[in-house]
Structure formats: structure tokens, C-alpha cells
Amino acid sequence: AYLVRLTMTTRRWQRDSKAWAPTHVQSLDIRPESLPDDIGVAARQFWDRGEERACLSLLYRGLLSRLVHVFEVGIRDSSTEGDCLRLAAAALHADRIAYVAQLIRVWQQSVYGGQMPAAEVVHELCADFAPTLDRVPQADRVASGATASAAACRH
């Protein structure tokens, strides 16, 4: 009976822990169903058609969505880019953080600074999106699970 109750409580906690996840960050829709299956490929297609802003927006929205829904980073609907980077840095390994920091920097420079990145930089961000953000290795899962638990306790 103890094991059954423990299993049921754990399953309920896992299901309820997703309730904190926002659907939007600022005005950006980060629901997984609002994004293409292969974000990197879709973003590259936007870039190649000359739709630079759409490309960068998709990459940034995809980043936020993966941080929230895959890595369970405690990003809120009012989180800034700096907040997102700080929260991601506490939950991810260094190789992933480097990608996150670069994408956020490119996003900020284009949106706030009006500076479009070089095509090579964007091509690399697009190509590295899926390998960096689509799956959570077990080591990351432990770290992000701890972050989600802490976020759930705070809110």
C-alpha cells in the first residue's frame, strides 16, 4: 500500500509540476504546439528567404519553449532575456549554456540594437538547435528536475 501511494503521489507531482509552465513569455508564444517540429530547419528556411526577423524570432521562441518544456527551467511569463539566461545557467551544462547565451545575444542585438548577425552565425544557430535543445541527457535531467522542484516550491 505504501508503494502504491508513493507512486500515485509522485505521478501527481510530476503532472502538477507542469502547471507552472507559461504559455507566453512577454508577448512570445512558447507553447510547443505553436512551433514547428524542426525549429532549426524552419528558422533556416526563413533566413534563406530573407525573413531574418522571423528566423530569429522562431529561434528565440523555440529556445524559450525548450528551456521551459524540455529542461523544466523556471522561466515565467514576465522573464527578461537576462532572467532566462540566469535561470538556464543554473540548470544546464556549460556546452548548452554557451549556445543559449549566444542565441540570446544575437536576439538582443537584432531586436534592440538593430544589428543583424552574419549569415554564418545564424546558419550555425539553426544547425545546432536540435542537437543542443531537443533532448535532455540524464545528467541534465537531474539538474533541471532540481530547478523545477525549487521553482514549484517558490510559486
pLDDT tens-digit series, residues 1-37: 666 665 555 554 444 445 467 888 888 898 999 999 9
Q: pTM of the full predicted structure?
A: 0.76
* Tens-digit pLDDT profile for residues 82-129: 999 999 999 999 989 999 999 999 999 999 999 999 999 999 999 999
Per-range mean pLDDT, top range of 14-18, 55-59, 136-140, 147-151: 55-59
Q: Name the more confident of 24 and 150.
A: 24
Output the DSSP codes for the chain.
-HHHHHHHHHHHHHHHHGGG--SEETTEE--GGGS-SSHHHHHHHHHHTT-HHHHHHHHHHHHHHHHHHTS-----TT--HHHHHHHHHHHS-HHHHHHHHHHHHHHHHHHTT--PPPHHHHHHHHHHHHHHHS---HHHHHHHHHHHHHHHHH-
